[in-house]
């Protein structure tokens, strides 16, 4: 039996959320991201998310805050509404990737101190390898993002 329509959409959203949880994300944050990705609505409120996810409005507030801090969603003003509205950022994934760049810089600084702190040997070799890897990532990340954006602009959209 093939699952179609609303049931298929909900199952796909939950599967994506489970994959994000498997990658280390908090469950409610992962479910909130999936809700934003799978909606055709321009904006969602905490109440909308609570209804979509089948949880209380209070339980989504922390998830909304986390997802906003990640840079995936943004708060917007909706004329005539007294509720807070959120929408997925247009370039959410490149924004997230760029923000993770800061974490990589922090790791790189710590590793660099480690390389300087130890003498020749296995520890130095491991730390040096890690430093070189993170340096490579930092140097390549902007090039990859730009290539991705160029490719997206060149491809016809359905």
* Residue 103, pLDDT score: 79
* Residue 2, pLDDT score: 55
More confident residue, 97 or 79: 79
Average pLDDT of the chain, as a whole number = 89
47, 60 contact by CB (below 8 A): no
Q: pLDDT, tens digit, for every residue of 5-39?
A: 888 989 999 999 999 999 888 999 999 999 999 99
* Residue 1, pLDDT score: 47
- Residues for the chain: how many in total? 158
Helix, strand, coil percentages (3-state) for the chain, rounded to 5, are 70, 5, 25
Residue 106 has pLDDT above 80, yes or no: yes
Query: Distances from the Cα of 132 to the Cαs of 74, 97, 155, in angstroms?
Result: 35, 20, 34
* Residue 3, pLDDT score: 59
What's the CA gap between 69 and 56, in Å, rounded? 21
């Amino acid at each position: 039996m093939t699952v179609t329509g609303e049931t298929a959409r909900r199952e796909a959203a939950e599967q994506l959320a489970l994959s994000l949880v498997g990658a280390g994300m908090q469950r409610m944050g992962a479910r909130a991201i999936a809700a934003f990705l799978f909606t055709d609505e321009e904006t969602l409120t905490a109440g909308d998310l609570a209804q979509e996810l089948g949880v209380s409005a209070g339980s989504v507030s922390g998830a909304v805050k986390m997802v906003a801090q990640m840079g995936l969603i943004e708060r917007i003003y909706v004329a005539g509404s007294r509720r807070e509205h959120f929408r997925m950022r247009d370039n959410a994934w490149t924004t997230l990737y760029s923000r993770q760049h800061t974490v990589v810089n922090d790791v790189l600084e710590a590793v660099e101190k480690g390389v300087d702190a130890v003498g020749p040997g296995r520890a130095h070799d491991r730390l040096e390898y890690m430093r070189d890897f993170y340096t490579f990532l930092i140097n390549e990340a902007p090039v990859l993002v730009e290539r991705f954006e160029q490719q997206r602009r060149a491809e016809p959209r359905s």
